[in-house]
C-alpha cells in the first residue's frame, strides 16, 4: 500500500483508497478473503501452489537482507 511506512518498498503500490474500496466491496459481497493489488493477488495464488517458495521469497525481506534489489 502506498503509505509513508512503505516508502522504501518496491512498486507497484496500491493506493489506500483502492484498498478501502476493495475491502468494502468484499464486505458487501460477503467474501472472507480479499487481496487488493497485483502483488497481494499474486502472492495469495502462489501460496496455494508453492507455500515454501513464497516463504523463501518473503524471507529475503527480513532486516539485513536485500529488498528487491536494494539495500534495506
Residue range of the domain that includes 44: 16-71
Instruction: Tell me if 11 is assigned to some domain.
Output: no
Number of structural domains in the chain: 1
13 and 6 Cβ atoms separated by less than 8 Å: yes
Residue 14 to residue 16: CA distance in whole angstroms: 6
Instruction: Tell me if 7 is assigned to some domain.
Output: no
Per-residue pLDDT, averaged over 2-14, amounts to 79
The confidence score (pLDDT) of residue 9 equals 74
Instruction: Tell me if 6 is assigned to some domain.
Output: no
Instruction: Tell me if 2 is assigned to some domain.
Output: no
Instruction: Tell me if 39 is assigned to some domain.
Output: yes
Annotate 37-63 with b (16+ C-beta within 10 A) or e (fewer). Answer: bebeeeeeeeeeeeeeebeeeeeeeee
Instruction: Tell me if 46 is assigned to some domain.
Output: yes
The confidence score (pLDDT) of residue 65 equals 60
pLDDT band at 4 (very low <50, low <70, confident <90, very high): confident
Instruction: Tell me if 9 is assigned to some domain.
Output: no
Q: Which is more confidently placed, 63 or 4?
A: 4
State yes or no: pLDDT of 34 exceeds 70. yes
Q: The whole model's pTM is what?
A: 0.61
Instruction: Tell me if 35 is assigned to some domain.
Output: yes
Amino acid at each position: 500500500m502506498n503509505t509513508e511506512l512503505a516508502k522504501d518498498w518496491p512498486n507497484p503500490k496500491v493506493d489506500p483508497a483502492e484498498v478501502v474500496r476493495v475491502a468494502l466491496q468484499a464486505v458487501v459481497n460477503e467474501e472472507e478473503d480479499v487481496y487488493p493489488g497485483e502483488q497481494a493477488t499474486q502472492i495469495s495464488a502462489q501460496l496455494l501452489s508453492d507455500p515454501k517458495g513464497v516463504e523463501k521469497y518473503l524471507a529475503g525481506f527480513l532486516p539485513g537482507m536485500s529488498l528487491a534489489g536494494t539495500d534495506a
